[in-house]
Chain A
Amino acid sequence: MSSSRLMTCLMLSVWFLLATLATATAADGETPVPAGPTAGLERDWTQLPSDEQELEVWDPLEPFNRGMFWFNDKLYFYALKPVAKGYRAVTPVPVRESFGNFFRNLSAPVRIVNSLLQFKITNTLDELTMFCANSTLGIGGLFDLRNNAPREPSPEDFGQTLGHYGTPPGFYLVLPVLGSTNARDAVGQVADSLTAPVPSPYYVKMETAEVAGLETFDTVNGLSLDKDTYEAIKRESLDPYLFVRNGFMQQRQAKVDK
């Protein structure tokens, strides 16, 4: 387990370095589109001030990524979704919500550490307070007292920490099972796995199978509460791969900027 994780970590770091270099050189060649009047409409809607941070996704691994996207799509429809539906049928909503709360609370160390790394002091204290309150009054995190809090903390992870200090996202990457990520956030995910109680070995020693079991359960539980988000995206978009790719990159950018 630990040696394979080290390998992944190394591989990702190399990719990541290459990605950073390539994005830095690619950024020079772009010219902004000049704004001008268009026929029929009084305003030029092709270019607005809010487009300044237009996001160009860099996807050199597209054929591989599309393969993984196809694989994850099949995994979703033939394995995860049927299991989630069966589970949903036999487990009441409050129970599933409590499990969801439990896993969310369990990953609080990741959010606390990364809030602190970005010197978001209020956010760190908010996360810390919620973690203490939910773990005690909320009975190990089964109940979420967040609704009583004055502010909703913004959840931080290591990918955002890297972004906060100026690391570009690098190329888009679709991992089997884990789904959408990019070079920067993949490195972030590896780093976060060291501070998260699941799967980090520094809290409770667990077998790989136990970790995988818990993570699968977390995913299935989450899916059982989801209202067919992926189905809607797949139904509506001309090319779901492009929709998910852009949506993911926009969302990550917004989280880094926050």
Chain B
Amino acid sequence: MQLLKRSCLIASGLLMLATLVLAMPSPREQVQQTVEQVLEVLRNKAISGQPRREALSRLIRARFDFAAMSQRTLGKHWKDASAQEQARFVELFSDLLEASYIGRIEAYSGEIVSYRGERIEGDMAEVDTSVHSGNVDIPINYRLVHEKGGWFVYDVIIEEVSLIKNYRSSYGEIVRKEGYPGLFARMEAKIRELRAAPPKGTKG
């Protein structure tokens, strides 16, 4: 009797756990949610300029783990940097990524995003999406990590090219040649440039 009671308890506990796990949004759902929210802002003709950029910024910062991306970008150089340099880098890199991303998505002109699939391995996942533009499909995959109750993007792979690996090779070379002051100066100049001149959308 005791045994039956206990196993009942365990079973119901497991069931509760299972429903909890099932109720949690999957990485694919979370990517889709953010992308759809971004598209909604872009389609909304009522907001533009600075308020629109702020809305986009909020959505992006809620789904991208910029701190992890910064650390991955510096790679082995991260450990050589002082705490102050690390903090400055995270700040600048977040701004730069955001400005680049907003620049890209502001050129949006009705492309269709489809969500292909997801692979989960422990607390890491990859979500495949595809952007249909004209007669080409551009594969865009998001790599995510599970932390603090949600899935967060730590790398984006566009047409087989990992953005973070790409940044890492460029930034590594700049740090080697010019040190952190040189890298920071270049990043500051680039952020100013990106914010000053939003790209014009062009038709295909």
Contacts and interface: CB of A to CB of B under 8 A. Distances in A.
A136 interface: no
Contacts, number: 109
B166 interface: yes
A55 B166 CA distance: 10
A232 to B, nearest CB: 6
A33 B143 CA distance: 22
Interface residues of A, number: 42
Given A227-B107, A232-B199, A247-B161, A238 B187 contact: yes
A46 interface: yes
B133 A242 contact: no
Interface residues of B, number: 46
B134 A251 contact: no
A242 B71 contact: no
Nearest to B121: A49
Contacts of B154: 45
Point out which of A225, A232, A236, A239 has the most chain B C-beta atoms below 10 A from its C-beta.
Answer: A236
B120 interface: no
Contacts of B104: 232
Contact of A236 (B69, B136, B194, B204): B194
A227 B134 CA distance: 10
Interface of A: 33, 36, 38-43, 45-48, 50-51, 54-55, 57, 93, 97, 100-101, 144, 225-228, 231-232, 235-239, 242-243, 245-247, 250-251, 254-255
Nearest to A255: B160
B179 to A, nearest CB: 14
Contact of B170 (A101, A235, A239, A255): A239
Interface in B152-195: 154-155, 159-162, 165-166, 169-171, 173-174, 183, 186-187, 190, 193-194
B113 interface: no
